[in-house]
Amino acid sequence: MSFLRRERRIRDFGAAWPAGTQVQIVAHCDDDLYFMNPAVHQALAAGAPTTTVYLTAGEADGRNVPYGVPDRSSHPVDHAGYAAARYNGIRSAYAEMVTGDRNSPWTTAPVRYGTATVDVAVLTAAPHVRLVFVSLEGQEAARAGDPPRAIDALWSGDIPWLAVLVPTGSALPAGQALTRDDLLDLLEEILAESKPSVVRVMDPDPDHTTYERGGAIRYSDHASHTAAAQFALHAVRRWQRRQGRATPPVESYRGYYNRHWPTNLTEAAFAVKRSILDTYGGTHGDRSGAVGCGDYLVGDQAHTTGYGQSTTQRYPGSTSWLRLQADGRLAAFAVLDGHAYVWRESQPGRGTWDEPQRLAGPGDLTPHLDVAAGPDGCLHLAAVRQPLTPSPRGQRRILVVASQATPNGPFGDWAELGNPADGGADATLRMREMGMPVLGVRPDGGLQVFVRNFGRGVSSRVQLKADVWEGWSDLGGSVVQEGLALAANRDGRLSLFAGTNQTVLRWDQQEDGAFAAPVAMLRREPTGPVTVTREHNGRLLLVFRTGPHGEVTVSRQTREGAWPSQPAAIGGDGGFGPVAAFSTPVKDGITLLAQRNDQGTLSLSRQPTGAGTSASWSPAGGMFLRSPSIAADATGALAVAVLGADGTLRVARQTGTGDAGFGEWAALPPIGGSRG
């Protein structure tokens, strides 16, 4: 598909509802292109007002010459010129994404935020698109024994300030230096000015690649990516506290670790992504100028890194957050501004909704919230608290659970269940890699929670009675990806599923309540989280994307409880992230799937239950964040819920008409009573 044809298709799909306003806060000029696209590109194509903030100058060694050039070390060092060339490249890339013309002009001028003056570039043809260049230095040589003068040292407090580099041709004042608070004030002011409906950041807690007990941990990601994410999250939370109302959802994206998992973008999606990266790399421009028109270290080699072929959310969210309460009302749950909120239908099956209610608790929750329903009608929530501290050894990541004591009743206080790394060597380092929880109800009525651990296996805790939990147990597994799935079999016993680099692992609960060792069950590698639903006959249906290009696949349990070794591919038009699945409990019902497609919008597929598959998908909504969720209302009609890119929760109900048999999308009441 040509670039222009693809642009037109994105625009058509994005018109279902407003695309919102977006802010990206990253370390380097290509972080958004490598790790957040196609999401940023899709929002730009839909006309979303956009501000992207680049915290560092990214001047590297000052030589804007491709690696591998024989005489590269002999080229003169020009840090200011290299920074300016990268800025030229990113302006060209955004111009191409927005207008289709990489040479579309910009106006760049100094703007003051707080105590800092930064360069702000505005796209002339689309003045709602802005790029902010803070230009903090990151390559200054330190004396022996001194901390590196880089943004991660500024975040941790190892250095009190960091100098601003003035790029060639910039009108920034010379001699600027920013403290940690200066940078937070700057970001907070940009957030207040932009009023975003979504903030995109990098991964604040990246996976490790090597670990020496009691010693150093080597991480998979660039330290500046991590520090930029910590700065961004802290600024969002400060802004929320000062304005006293809900802040926008935050989307977090993995960085270099993408190269260690199977790729998840379709060939068409990566072709567009690569084209934009090539523009940023200066492959189409005149290289004869004194500064340059791109980052020549990227050049036309973006496809060789292995991490641009995927887009992976650090917190993709569960698909369980829309639930039917015991009183017949649907309830939708979401984490915004670090707190959990619940929306409830005013009356069963009527489609009108009460104002959202904030659940009690200290806040600081990640965007993930898993919701489980017990046989008594009580609902249970599992989440992760993420207090932010500058010191790598002062971090805490805490699993928390809250439950209804009676059906339809209020939720109790969050119970802190800790972290699988508690008490171990380097616990405050290891606990940062705890995955997002899934929660299940055991046959005896007690809860059991499961998370990915530092060793990339699975850990679990079991509830013995209301406020008493067993300690952590290690269920084994290796190379487990983020995104566990859990379901009860027809006998009430639980089965847990997790994707790895090569297969899907399954843990089955035994008669004594313990879980057997994991078994590899499929010959296809998942390219993201797995989802499971129970069909009307009690058999489980497993749904996930598979390599190398994220095609949706399904695997259905046999009558005897076994699983086939080869899943069935059912298309899906690309996309990334979890696929929601829900099966109606009647024999002639359907299993409904909902997923993000290659246009960043929602697609639905009706699957027959019991046997057979369908490769038919229908577009059914606009761009959205996190993961969709599906439930049946009091009348038995299916309902699909998403968090729109404009920050609005929306629900569509099965009517028998319209796309995939669903009616118009209803916007749920906003937090605080105002959508502005």
Closest CA to 387 of 379, 396, 378: 396
Architecture of domain 322-673: 7 Propeller (2.130)
List all residues 6 or more positions away from 340 whose beta carbon is below 8 Å from its beta carbon. 333, 334, 358, 359, 361, 365, 369, 381, 383, 402
* Tens digits of residue pLDDT in 580-635: 999 998 877 899 999 999 999 999 999 998 889 999 999 998 999 999 999 999 99
Tokens representing 256 are: 């270099």
Mean pLDDT value of segment 164-184: 96
Rg (CA), the chain: 25
pLDDT at 460: 98
Q: Does pLDDT of 146 surpass 70?
A: no
Q: Tokens 């009573």, residue?
A: 673
In the prediction, which pLDDT does 4 show?
A: 36
Residue type, 550: G
Alpha carbons within 13 A on the beta-carbon side of 119: 28
Q: Indicate the pLDDT class of residue 522, thresholds 50, 70 and 90.
A: confident
Residue-range domain boundaries for the chain: 3-304, 322-673
Query: CA angle, corner 377, sides to 371 and 381, nearest 5?
Result: 20
Q: Percentage of the chain surpassing pLDDT 70? A: 94
Average pLDDT over the chain, rounded to whole?
91
**Contact indicator for 378, 463 with CB cutoff of 8 Å:** no
Q: pTM value?
A: 0.95
C-alpha atoms less than 13 angstroms from C-alpha of 612 in its C-beta half-sphere = 7
The answer, yes or no, to whether residue 260 has pLDDT greater than 60, is yes
- What pLDDT is attached to residue 150? 92
The whole-angstrom separation of Cα 408 and Cα 223 is 46
pLDDT at 9: 38
Question: What confidence tier does 148 reach under pLDDT thresholds 50, 70, 90?
Answer: confident
CATH topology of domain 3-304: Rossmann fold (3.40.50)
- Whether omega before 392 lies within 30 degrees of 0, making that bond cis, reads no
In DSSP terms, which residues pair with 164 in a beta bridge?
Answer: 136
Per-residue pLDDT band for 358 (boundaries 50, 70, 90) equals very high
- Closest to 280 in 3D by CA, of 55, 28, 78: 28
Least confident range from 23-27, 67-71, 591-595: namely: 67-71
Confidence of residue 288 (pLDDT cuts 50, 70, 90): low
DSSP 272-316: HHHHHHHHHTTTTS-TTSSS-SS-TTTTT-GGGSSSTT---BSS-
Q: What is the pLDDT of residue 391?
A: 80
